[in-house]
Chains A and B, each alone.
Chain A
C-alpha cells in the first residue's frame, strides 16, 4: 500500500517536473522558443499531423495530442492526452470549433498560460455551413477538408513555426511551398478529369457539414446538409424537412461519411432516389505524413465519379 502511494507520488512529481521543463522552454521576448534539441510540435487533428510533418521534415518532432482512433467530434479527454500536452513546445489547433476538447486538455495539463498555440485557421476566410440552418450563419470548421484552405493553413503553420524556431524558418517555408505545390497539382489533376463535363446538373447533399470548403473551391453546390448541427443526428421532423428539400432542389447525389457511420444515409437514399457516395473527413486511422494527400485524392476521385454520374444520368434516367 505504502509502496503504491510512493509510486503514485513519484508519477505526480515526474509529471510536474515535465510541466515545469516545458515552462522553461516557453517563449522569450522575441516570440522564439528556447529549445534544447528538436522542437516538439503538437497537433489536434489528422490533417494537421500531415501538414506539420511535411513542413518540419526531420527538424522537429510531431506529436498527436489524442490517440489515432479517437472521434474528434465528441472526444472526451484522457489522462494520456495531458501527459502528451506537458511535453509539447507548441500545439497546432483548428481553433474554430473542431477541437475544443484540446483547450480542456491544455488547461488540465497546466499549460494554459505557457503553451504557444498555432491557430491554423487564423488567416483562412471562413464560410457558413451550407443548407438550411434556420437562417443562422454558422461557421464551418472543416477548413482542412479542402485544398485551397488547406494550403492557406499550411502557410500559416509554417509562418508561426518559423517565428517559434527562427533558425529553421526558411526551411519550413521552403517545405511548405513544395507541399502546397503538390496539393495544388492534386487539385489540377482532378479538374482536368471533368473539365469537359456539364456541371449544371450537379446538386448534392451531405450527411455531415464537412465539405463546404471542398465544394466551394470546385464551384460545386451543396443543397442540403442532413445533420442539423455539427455531429447532431436530426429529429424525425428535421429529417422529413431535409428529404423534402432534397427532392425540391433536385439533388442527385448524397455524400456520406467514410469514417463515421450514420444509419440514416441508406433510408434517405431509398426515400429520395439519390445516389450515395462516401467522402473522408480525414479524421480517422493512423497518423501519417501522407494521410492528407492520400485521402484527399480518394475524395477527389469520389467527387469525380459523382460528377460523372450526374453528367451522364440526367433526371429521370
Chain B
C-alpha cells in the first residue's frame, strides 16, 4: 500500500502541474562537454597535422625515361659489364690524377682491369671492343686533328666523318667506348668523364651510358641531351647509398 500511495502522488503532481520541460544543467555548467569537444578536436587536428607535415621517408628519386636502373633495368651481360665499369671508372680517374693523362686500353689491360682485360669475363660477356677517346682526338691516343674542311653539303658532311672529333673537342671530356659485343642482350657502352681537374680524384665525375644497339657509333656529342637524342640511356647505379636511402629514407 505504501508504494501504491507514492505512485499516485507522483501522478497527481504531474497532472496538477503544467506540461513543461525543465532542463537541469550539470553543476559544472557543461564544462565537461566543452572540454571533451576541445580534446577531441585537438586530437584530430594534431593527428591530421602530423600526417600532413611529417617528412616523407622518400627513397631514391624516380628515374627519367632516358635513364635505366643498374639493378633491374639491364640484361645480365650489361649488368656484369656495368658493375665492372663502375669500379674501373674510379681507377681511371685516379690514374689520370696520378699521371696527368688518361690510361690507354692497353694500359688498363696490363693492370688486369675488367671489363677491359681480355679474360674469361670478357669472353663470356661478348668480347666487347674498347676504345679510349681523348678530348679533341679522332682516334685512340691521337692528338687533336685539324678541323675538317667544310663542304657545300653543310653540317651533315662536316659531322659525319669527324664525329669523334666533334664529340670531344672543347668539352674537356674523355670517354671510353665499348662496342661490337656479341653476347645475347648485349649493348654498346660509354664512360663519359667530364672536365676533370687535377687533385679532385675523389669526386665521382664519370657517367655511364648504354645503347641497345651493340654497334652504335661513337656519338658526335657527349653532352647528356645529345646522347639522349642519339638513343643512349644513362645507367643510374643502384648502389649501397640508394639502398640505404630506400630503407631508411633521406631525411
Task: Point out the residues of chain A lying under 8 angstroms from B82, CB to CB.
Answer: 125
In the assembled complex, B41 has its CB within 8 A of some CB on chain A: no
B239 touches which of A126, A177, A180 (Cβ 8 Å): A126
A162–B91 alpha-carbon span in the complex (Å): 17
CA A220 – CA B76 in complex, angstroms?
Answer: 11
Question: A97 CA to B247 CA in the complex, in Å?
Answer: 10
Among candidates B113, B117, B120, B244, residue contacting A219 with C-beta atoms closer than 8 Å: B120
Given contacts A97-B243, A139-B71, A184-B112, 6 further A-B contacts (CB under 8 A): A95-B240, A119-B240, A123-B239, A128-B71, A143-B240, A148-B114
Asked whether B124 lies within 8 Å of A122 as measured between CB atoms, the reply is no
Chain A 208-223, CB within 8 Å of chain B: the 1/0 string? Answer: 0000010011111000
Q: Would you call B160 an interface residue if the criterion is a C-beta within 8 Å of the partner chain's C-beta atoms?
A: no
B residues 28-85 near A (Cβ < 8 Å) are: 70-72, 76, 79-80, 82-84
Residues of chain B from 222 to 251 with CB closer than 8 A to chain A in the complex? 237-244
Residues of chain B within 8 A of A137, CB atoms compared: 71-72
Q: Which residues of A contact B237 (CB under 8 A)?
A: 123, 125
The 8 closest A-B pairs by CB, nearest first: A121-B240, A219-B124, A191-B119, A188-B112, A152-B87, A122-B241, A125-B237, A96-B243
Q: Which one, A97, A151, A177, A191, contacts B120 given CB within 8 A?
A: A191
Q: Is A188 within 8 A of B83, CB to CB?
A: no
- With A122-B240, A195-B120 in contact, do A187 and B112 touch (Cβ < 8 Å)? yes
Q: How many residues of A contact B (CB 8 A)?
A: 43
* Min CB–CB distance A29 → chain B (angstroms): 18
Contacts of B243 in A (CB 8 A): 95-97, 121, 126, 139
Q: Which residues of B contact A173 (CB under 8 A)?
A: 94
Given A126-B239, A187-B112, does the pair A194, B120 have CB atoms closer than 8 Å?
Answer: yes
A184-B113 CB under 8 A given contacts A125-B237, A137-B72, A199-B120: yes
Q: How large is the interface on B (under 10, 10 to 19, 20 to 34, 35 or more residues)?
A: 35 or more
Q: List 14 A-B contacts (CB under 8 A).
A: A96-B244, A119-B241, A122-B240, A123-B240, A125-B71, A127-B79, A127-B83, A143-B240, A148-B114, A184-B111, A184-B112, A191-B120, A217-B80, A219-B121
- Residues of chain A touching chain B, judged by Cβ–Cβ distance below 8 Å, are 95-97, 119-128, 137, 139, 143, 148-149, 151-152, 155, 159, 162-163, 173, 177, 180-181, 184-185, 187-188, 191-192, 194-195, 199, 213, 216-220
A127 touches B71 (CB 8 A): yes
A-side contacts of B239, CB under 8 Å: 121-126
A127, A159, A163: residue with the most chain B Cβ atoms closer than 10 Å: A127
A148 touches B83 (CB 8 A): yes
A81 to B112, CA, bound (A): 40
Q: How far is the CA of A213 from the CA of B80 in the complex (A)?
A: 9
Q: Which of B77-106 contact A (CB under 8 A)?
A: 79-80, 82-84, 86-87, 90-91, 94
The closest CB in chain B to the CB of A163 belongs to B202
